[in-house]
């Protein structure tokens, strides 16, 4: 069998590749006889989302069967549909509809990865790491990845560029504070100083993607020696400290430097808010 034959096509095409006459029927399998894939790319499952799905399954059942393969120990390993399986257990279901197919380990990993990349709640960093895995482990080109996830090659290329950003930016992307559009604007800047300044505006002042692009353009056009003075007139190191303090206290924090004395301002809006901040000290 040519293992590369299925590469470069969409998930549905890859799944259909293994269907033979008489196979692909839906079976009711005991949930305790099913195991998750240990190499499943998705590690975190929202408790709130699982509970909502469990409530739906309790009401109307599992509408789409999961995909599994049979292991040598007699149990079944999930290829696609771990979230449905987890929610079914949460709903108290004893069995779950499943399609049993014979896949090799390489194909299982690829299908699991592509299924996760087609989720709507991925943050840009998770998506970029998924594309990188397809590129490195499966030898796919950007064009082949784009076909599999139904996106343009340029979109895939832009998302992969995120991985070149410094750790202090990746941290904010992972936290959900920087969107893909913002990340693209940050990627257009060469220096870490410029990225810190733009990140400050994105995270602290919540500027739009369009404003971020405009600011990135201005920062790129200026000499780096004038960047701090003419854009925000603040030391990037102080900006980073402000950002950390703002995250810690959950409210706006400003560090104001003076020639003789300096001060730190922490905003609060209610007495309860003040008490919460004091408790953090």
Q: Domains of the chain, with CATH numbers?
A: 19-102 (3.90.1530.30), 122-163 (1.10.10.2830), 165-280 (1.10.10)
Query: pLDDT, tens digit, for every residue of 158-191?
Result: 899 999 999 999 999 988 899 989 999 999 888 8
Query: pLDDT, tens digit, for every residue of 198-231?
Result: 999 999 889 999 999 999 888 877 644 454 454 4
Tell me the DSSP string of 68-128: EEE-TTS-EEEEE-HHHHHHHHHTT-SEEEEEE----HHHHHHHHHHHHHT-SS--HHHHH
Beta strands 34-35; 76-80: pairing state: parallel
Query: pLDDT, tens digit, for every residue of 231-241?
Result: 455 677 777 88
Question: How far is it, in rounded angstroms, from Cα 191 to Cα 202?
Answer: 17
The H-assigned helical ranges of the chain are: 11-16, 47-60, 82-90, 105-117, 124-137, 142-149, 153-160, 167-174, 180-187, 192-204, 209-221, 224-227, 236-249, 271-280
pLDDT at 229: 54
User: Minimal CA–CA distance to 155: which of 170, 163, 145, 169?
Assistant: 145
Catalytic residue annotation: 82
- In this model, does residue 31 exceed pLDDT 70? yes
Query: pLDDT, tens digit, for every residue of 265-277?
Result: 888 777 777 888 8
Taking residues 89-106, what's their average pLDDT? 88
pTM: 0.53
Element (H, E) at 281: none
């Amino acid at each position: 069998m040519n293992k590369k034959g299925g590469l470069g096509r969409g998930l549905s095409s890859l799944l259909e590749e293994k269907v033979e006459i008489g196979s692909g029927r839906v079976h009711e399998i005991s949930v305790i006889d099913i195991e998750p894939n240990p190499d499943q790319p998705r590690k975190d499952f929202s408790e709130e989302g699982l509970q909502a799905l469990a409530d739906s399954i309790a009401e109307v059942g599992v509408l789409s069967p999961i995909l599994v393969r049979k292991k040598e120990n007699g149990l079944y390993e999930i290829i696609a549909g771990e979230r449905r399986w987890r929610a079914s257990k949460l709903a108290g279901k004893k069995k779950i509809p499943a399609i049993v197919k014979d896949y090799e380990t390489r194909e299982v990993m690829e299908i699991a990865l592509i299924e996760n990349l087609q989720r709507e709640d991925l943050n840009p960093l998770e998506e970029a790491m998924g594309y990188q895995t397809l590129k490195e482990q499966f030898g796919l080109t950007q064009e082949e990845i784009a076909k599999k996830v139904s996106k343009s090659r340029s979109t895939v290329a832009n998302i992969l560029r995120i991985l070149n950003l410094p750790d202090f930016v990746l941290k904010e992307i992972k936290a959900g504070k920087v969107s893909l559009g913002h990340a693209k604007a940050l990627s257009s800047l060469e220096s870490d100083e410029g990225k810190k300044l733009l990140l400050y505006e994105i995270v602290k002042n919540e500027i739009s993607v369009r404003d971020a692009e405009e600011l990135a353009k201005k920062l790129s056009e200026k000499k780096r020696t004038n960047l701090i003075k003419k854009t925000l007139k603040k030391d990037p190191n102080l900006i980073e400290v402000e950002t950390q303090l703002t995250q810690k206290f959950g409210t706006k924090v400003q560090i104001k430097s003076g020639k003789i004395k300096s001060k730190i301002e922490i905003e609060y809006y209610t007495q309860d808010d003040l008490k919460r901040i004091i408790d953090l000290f």
